[in-house]
């Protein structure tokens, strides 16, 4: 056997997995696994695959183009910082309020009182009270309410700087609820003081500021508007106070006697009353009345009130019909005192006063308020609806009120 034939024998034996006697080892051949690729033969599945691949390619192409466009053509946005502008009118009003308070607050004082009141066993018990006031002169004159100091056995004022002073009562007037005090200052100290505004020119809706010491809270400030003018109210003592300024600026116990000021820091009124249980119903004695009373007290020691010397009744529709009048407003005269301005001017019972110096008289409160705005000795002109229907004008010189 030649060499090539031997090789052939060995290969054949190895293929059969036999033992080669010459080499003495076993040759084993295992089948090699062959991986095959599955072919999609379903036409529908094949179409779906093609659509998915095409869509994916479209998305990639679109994203690339969009990115290129944005990078090349993206606009530049400039963001401007917003500005917050306070309306000039609001700012100016706030500034005016702040300035007015600064001008006035140091002239506002706390009025502290002691009264003797009887308990159940008729023993005199000291009772403390408190109100407000305002300095009207550098010499220490203080205006407050009559009801704040009425019946007090001891009165002190506390000024803005915290100093306490005893005071004297110069005078007081129950009709207007105004009192004038004088600080006892041993060193002749000069005090800050306020100026008066003209309440005859006050307008409904005008901004006002109340300063006082409600519930002992010193120099509390509230703001509001003039709600009405020429109001008349009956206070707890039964007195009728006329010619009042009504405001919605918050007024509380302890505010009585404090100032109601305008935006110039001038006193427009002296806070005097509230309606208990109501909101935003406060009343102030007008500055012109308060000033008139103050000047009377300093000059005469008391308030001197003018009068006509009549008693009257407000004319309404019912009175107009019952009296066969051609008007439904004014004051019809029911009684005339002897030797008074009304009797001397020739007025008679049944005449109706409808205007004073061209100011319309709508009711008895209005008539009283207008008369009190003048002084004793002033000459006024009445517009009178006479018995019989004629309207005449009558000149009257006001006299001092009796009693």
pLDDT in tens, 164-210: 999 999 999 999 999 999 999 878 889 999 999 999 899 999 999 99
How many H helices and E strands in the chain? 8, 22
Of 18-22, 240-244, 304-308, the one with minimum mean pLDDT is: 18-22
- pLDDT recorded at residue 116: 83
Q: Lowest-confidence range among 95-109, 134-148, 231-245, 360-374?
A: 231-245
What mean pLDDT value characterizes the chain? 84
Give the pLDDT confidence score for residue 65 in this predicted structure: 62
pLDDT of residue 301: 92
β-bridge pairing 220-234 and 267-274 = unpaired
What are phi and psi for residue 85, nearest 5 degrees? -105, 125
Strands (E), 83-191: 108-118, 124-135, 141-145, 154-158, 164-173, 178-183
Q: What is the pLDDT of residue 35?
A: 47
**What is the per-residue pLDDT for 80?**
55
Instruction: Determine how many CB atoms are found less than 10 A away from the CB of residue 38.
Output: 5
Q: Could you give the domains of the chain?
A: 108-183 (2.40.10.10), 199-300 (2.40.10.10), 306-400 (2.30.42.10)
Contacts with 289 (C-beta within 8 Å, 6 or more apart), sequence order:
176, 178, 199, 243, 372, 373
pLDDT at 302: 93
Structure-derived torsion over alpha carbons of residues 18, 23, 28, 29, reported in degrees to the nearest 10:
-100
Q: What is the pLDDT of residue 70?
A: 54
Q: What is the mean pLDDT of residues 32-53?
A: 59
Using CB atoms within 10 A of its CB, is residue 133 exposed (0-12), middle (13-18) or buried (19+)?
buried
- Residues 242 and 401: their CA atoms lie apart, in Å, by 16
User: Which residues, other chains included, contact 338 with Cβ-Cβ below 8 Å and sequence gap of 6+?
Assistant: none
Q: Which two tokens stand for residue 135?
A: 């300095």
Residue 27, pLDDT above cutoff 70: no
Of 73-82, 213-222, 318-327, where does mean pLDDT reach its minimum?
Answer: 73-82
Tokens, residue 295: 């000047």
pLDDT for res 402: 80
Its pTM stands at 0.72
Q: What is the pLDDT of residue 7?
A: 43
pLDDT of residue 375: 87
Residues 6+ away with beta carbon under 8 Å from 205:
225, 226
pLDDT tens-place string over residues 105-147: 999 999 999 988 877 777 878 889 999 999 999 999 999 999 9
* pLDDT for position 74: 53
Quick one: pLDDT at residue 139? 94
Using the predicted structure, report yes or no on whether residue 293 has a pLDDT greater than 90: yes
At a CB cut-off of 8 Å and minimum separation 6, what does 245 contact? 199, 202, 226, 228, 229, 231, 260, 268, 269, 283, 284, 285, 286
Cα 177 to Cα 171, 272, 301, 401, distances in angstroms: 11, 7, 15, 17
Residue 81: what pLDDT? 54
Half-sphere exposure of 338 (CA within 13 A, CB side): 0
- Model confidence band, residue 212 (pLDDT cutoffs 50, 70, 90): very high
Question: What integer pLDDT is reported at residue 341 of this predicted model?
Answer: 95
> Is 78's pLDDT higher than 90?
no
pLDDT of amino acid 232: 86
Give me the pLDDT at residue 126, please.
Answer: 85
Residue 273 and residue 185 in contact, taking contact as beta carbons nearer than 8 Å: no
Residues carrying an active site annotation:
147, 177, 256
pLDDT confidence band for 92 (50 / 70 / 90) = confident
CB 166 within 8 A of CB 186: no
> So what's the pLDDT on residue 312?
94
Q: How far is CA 380 from the centre of its chain?
A: 39
- 26 pLDDT above the threshold of 60: no
- Arithmetic mean of pLDDT, 322-347: 94
Q: 222 near 274, Cβ under 8 Å?
A: no
pLDDT bracket for residue 156 (50, 70, 90): very high
> At which residue do the structure tokens 């004008």 appear?
393
């Amino acid at each position: 056997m030649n060499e090539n034939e031997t090789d052939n024998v060995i290969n054949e034996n190895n293929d059969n997995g036999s033992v080669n006697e010459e080499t003495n080892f076993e040759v084993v051949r295992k089948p090699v696994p062959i991986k095959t690729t599955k072919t999609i033969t379903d036409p529908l599945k094949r179409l779906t695959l093609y659509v998915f691949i095409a869509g994916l390619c479209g998305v990639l192409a679109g994203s690339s183009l969009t990115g290129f466009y944005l990078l090349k053509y993206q606009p530049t946005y400039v963001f401007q910082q917003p500005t917050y502008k306070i309306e000039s009118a609001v700012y100016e009003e706030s500034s005016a309020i702040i300035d007015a308070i600064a001008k006035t607050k140091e002239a506002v004082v706390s009025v502290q009182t002691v009264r003797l009141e009887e308990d159940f066993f008729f023993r005199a018990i000291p009772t403390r009270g408190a109100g407000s006031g305002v300095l009207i002169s550098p010499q220490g004159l203080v205006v407050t309410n009559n009801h704040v100091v009425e019946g007090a056995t001891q009165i002190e004022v506390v000024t803005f700087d915290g100093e306490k002073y005893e005071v004297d009562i110069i005078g007081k007037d129950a009709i207007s609820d105004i009192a004038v005090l004088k600080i006892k200052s041993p060193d002749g100290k000069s005090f800050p003081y306020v100026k008066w505004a003209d309440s005859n020119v006050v307008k409904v809706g005008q901004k006002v500021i109340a300063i006082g010491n409600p519930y002992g809270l010193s120099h509390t400030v509230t703001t509001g508007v003039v709600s009405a003018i020429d109001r008349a109210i009956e206070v707890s003592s039964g007195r009728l106070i006329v010619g009042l300024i009504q405001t919605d600026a918050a007024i509380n116990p302890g505010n009585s006697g404090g100032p109601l000021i305008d935006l110039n820091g001038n006193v427009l009124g002296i806070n005097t009353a509230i309606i208990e249980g109501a909101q935003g119903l406060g009343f102030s004695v007008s500055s012109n009345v308060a000033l008139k009373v103050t000047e009377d007290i300093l000059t005469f020691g008391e308030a001197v009130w003018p009068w006509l010397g009549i008693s009257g009744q407000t004319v309404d529709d019912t009175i107009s019909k019952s009296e066969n009048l051609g008007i439904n407003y004014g004051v019809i005269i029911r009684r005339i005192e002897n030797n008074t301005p009304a009797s001397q001017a020739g007025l008679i019972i049944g005449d109706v006063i409808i205007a004073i110096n061209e100011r319309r008289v709508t009711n008895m409160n209005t008539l009283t308020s207008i008369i009190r705005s003048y002084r004793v000795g002033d000459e006024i002109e009445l517009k009178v609806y006479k018995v019989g229907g004629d309207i005449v004008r009558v000149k009257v010189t006001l006299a001092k009120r009796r009693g």
